[in-house]
Amino acid sequence: MSHYAATRFPLRIRRVVGTAVCTVWLAGCAVGPDFVTSQNGLDAVQLAPRPDYPGSVQGLSDDVPIQWWSLFDDRLLTELEMKAYSGNLGLQEAAGRIEESRAQLGITSSELLPTVGANTSYAREAISKFGHFGHLGAPTSPNNFWQLGFDANWEIDLWGRARRASEGRAAELEGTVYDHEAVRVALAAEVARTYLQLRGTQAQIDIAEQNRVIAERALGLAESRARNGVATRFESASARAELATIKAMLPDLAQRRNALMNALALLLGEKPRALDLQLFKAMPLPSLPTNVPVGVPSELARRRPDILRAEAQLHAATAAIGVAKADFYPRISLTGQMGIEAFNLTDLSSWDSRFFSFGPAVYLPIFQGGRLMRQLELNEARQKTAAIAYRQTVLQAWHEIDNSLDAWAAQQREYAELIVAVDQSKQALQVAERGYQEGAVDYLSVLTAQRNLLASQTSLNASATNATIALVNLYKSLGGGWDPREPMAVPSATVNTPAVAIPESVTVLSSSSIEMESHK
């Protein structure tokens, strides 16, 4: 080997190695903004009880119960919640969307890998005698042509277009998982709310039946007094009207009870009246828990799946900007083809039948009529919209939590006062009935006492129902019903979820943005 060749060979090796290193380095770059959220906005919000509701929140624990409905200590409610998780069609639909999103992620991620295919063909062919090749003397008799081969293609992701697309799909998958959990939270609250409304309606039916008995007793007393000539027809007519009014309440209450049982059946994915035997028997409203853990306010937003879903959607919109920016750059692909071909089948085994083709292919966008620039503008606008939607979701969450805390405190105070009202109304009715029997008071006093008792009992039952529902709404606003610490069924391609916060700016862009020609 000559001295020149000996000195040139290492130089060529160094150039090849240098080119390979540059290619690998470029392949690790990805244009477009990286997803970043700010770390301020939520911790500044304080949800302490207002001065007019002192002591409304009896204790703050470090966490919200996952199965918060167990605080009601109602076995049937717990059973319905478990059945709803397995039978609700809306929850199953949300789970199906997760599978769709996972498949879409797999499709998009496949662009990072080479594609390899095999092909084989056979043709019986002949050229025309009067064609170009026929006039040049090529044989025109029919012949067979066999071909077997492989082809491969791999686009080198220099600018991160495929990686940004995969990142966006991974964020979308994460969003569908959080959407599934948001449906789970809403379902748990809706099952509990409907069940408590059913128990409240059944309690109201029982109250109406008790008042019907009281009205029948008052009517019998008024008719007896009228027959003895110590009362007028006004008293007996008023007693009949009161009894009819109470009886008229029963059909509407029964219809409401039946509708609530059907609503529960629908939530559980059952047919109408499927739960009638299980729910028809009246049971008292579950008692309110003595201690209500609501978690640490600064941690509340970190567990709400709707906030995490909005954040994942913002992440996906941010990644789409990188995809649009990468479209401005050249695409470099490595293509290859190899195989064997021959006119005779027996010649396919010959080494001389081989053919191959290897080499790079470069695509450079030169003129697109402004499509690429408009696509970039569209993705940036979508990212801004997603950022605004994220901020709106966080803000709405805080309002829901604050309103739920206020409602829970108000219902507690109202319920305590109405207990006193019912007790006093019962005593007033007993005194009025005794005085009416003795002739000391007129029937209007009895009628007024009856109506007051019915109104106070109805208000107390409604307050008890609303208090339990207020607790349900509180835990729904806190994101109770799912465990954010459980690992989600998402692939490792997803990026780490940053801390939840309200972004100060709706534009999340990094310094890697580049200037583009407006004609692209």
Do residues 67 and 146 touch, judged by C-beta distance below 8 A? no
**142 and 62, same structural domain?**
no
| CATH at residue 279 | 1.20.1600.10
**441 and 314, same structural domain?**
yes
Q: Are strands 331-342 and 354-363 parallel, antiparallel or unpaired?
A: antiparallel
Q: How many domains does the structure of the chain reveal?
A: 2
In a domain, 185, yes or no: yes
User: What per-residue confidence (pLDDT) applies to 483?
Assistant: 74
In a domain, 122, yes or no: yes
**425 and 355, same structural domain?**
no
**287 and 209, same structural domain?**
yes
Containing 200, the helix (H) or strand (E) segment is helix 161-227
Report the distance separating Cα 80 and Cα 71, nearest Å.
Answer: 15
Per-residue model confidence as pLDDT tens for the chain (520 residues): 444 444 444 544 444 344 444 544 444 578 888 888 755 445 545 555 565 554 444 444 546 788 999 999 999 999 999 999 999 999 999 999 999 999 999 999 999 999 999 999 999 998 888 888 888 888 888 889 999 999 999 999 989 999 999 999 999 999 999 999 999 999 999 999 999 999 999 999 999 998 899 889 888 888 887 888 777 788 889 889 989 999 999 999 999 999 999 999 999 999 999 999 999 999 999 988 877 777 665 566 667 899 999 999 999 999 999 999 999 999 999 999 999 999 888 888 888 899 999 999 999 999 989 999 999 999 999 999 999 999 999 889 888 888 888 898 899 889 989 999 999 999 999 999 899 888 888 888 888 888 899 999 999 999 999 999 999 999 998 888 877 766 554 443 333 333 333 333 333 333 333 333 334 4
**115-125, strands of its sheet edge to edge:** 115-125, 143-156, 331-342, 354-363
In a domain, 325, yes or no: yes
User: What per-residue confidence (pLDDT) applies to 520?
Assistant: 47
User: What per-residue confidence (pLDDT) applies to 140?
Assistant: 84
Residue in 342, 323, 367, 369 with CA at minimum distance from that of residue 171: 323
| CATH at residue 349 | 2.20.200.10
**Torsion of the alpha carbons at 40, 44, 47 and 51, rounded to the nearest 10:** -170
Q: What is the pLDDT of residues 175-213, one digit of tens each?
A: 999 999 999 999 999 999 999 999 999 999 999 998 899
**340 and 287, same structural domain?**
no
Structure-token pair, residue 150: 């492989």
**287 and 307, same structural domain?**
yes
In a domain, 413, yes or no: yes
Do residues 318 and 35 touch, judged by C-beta distance below 8 A? yes
Report the distance separating Cα 35 and Cα 497, nearest Å.
Answer: 10
Beta-bridge partner residues of 154: 334
User: What per-residue confidence (pLDDT) applies to 437?
Assistant: 82
In a domain, 500, yes or no: no
What's the pTM? 0.80
**3 state DSSP class of 210:** helix
**43 and 109, same structural domain?**
yes
DSSP code string of 232-269: -HHHHHHHHHHHHHHHHHHHHHHHHHHHHHHHHHHHTT
Domain extent for 253: 31-113+157-330+365-477
**140 and 186, same structural domain?**
no
In a domain, 162, yes or no: yes
Residue in 466, 476, 465, 295 with CA at minimum distance from that of residue 400: 476
Q: What is the pLDDT of residues 29-49, one digit of tens each?
A: 788 888 887 554 455 455 555
User: What per-residue confidence (pLDDT) applies to 378?
Assistant: 96
Identify the domain boundary among 342, 364, 386: 364
In a domain, 6, yes or no: no
Q: Nearest 5°: CA angle at 515, between 512 and 519?
A: 145
User: What per-residue confidence (pLDDT) applies to 223?
Assistant: 87
**List of residues 6+ apart from 16 with CB closer than 8 A:** none
Beta-bridge partner residues of 13: none
Residue in 211, 245, 238 with CA at minimum distance from that of residue 222: 238
**277 and 180, same structural domain?**
yes
Residue in 258, 132, 146 with CA at minimum distance from that of residue 202: 258
Do residues 379 and 323 touch, judged by C-beta distance below 8 A? yes
Identify the domain boundary among 443, 461, 477: 477
**List of residues 6+ apart from 114 with CB closer than 8 A:** 152, 153, 154, 334
**266 and 118, same structural domain?**
no
**430 and 290, same structural domain?**
yes
Report the distance separating Cα 162 and Cα 27, nearest Å.
Answer: 11
Do residues 200 and 465 touch, judged by C-beta distance below 8 A? yes
In a domain, 207, yes or no: yes
User: What per-residue confidence (pLDDT) applies to 508?
Assistant: 36
Do residues 257 and 208 touch, judged by C-beta distance below 8 A? no
**350 and 234, same structural domain?**
no
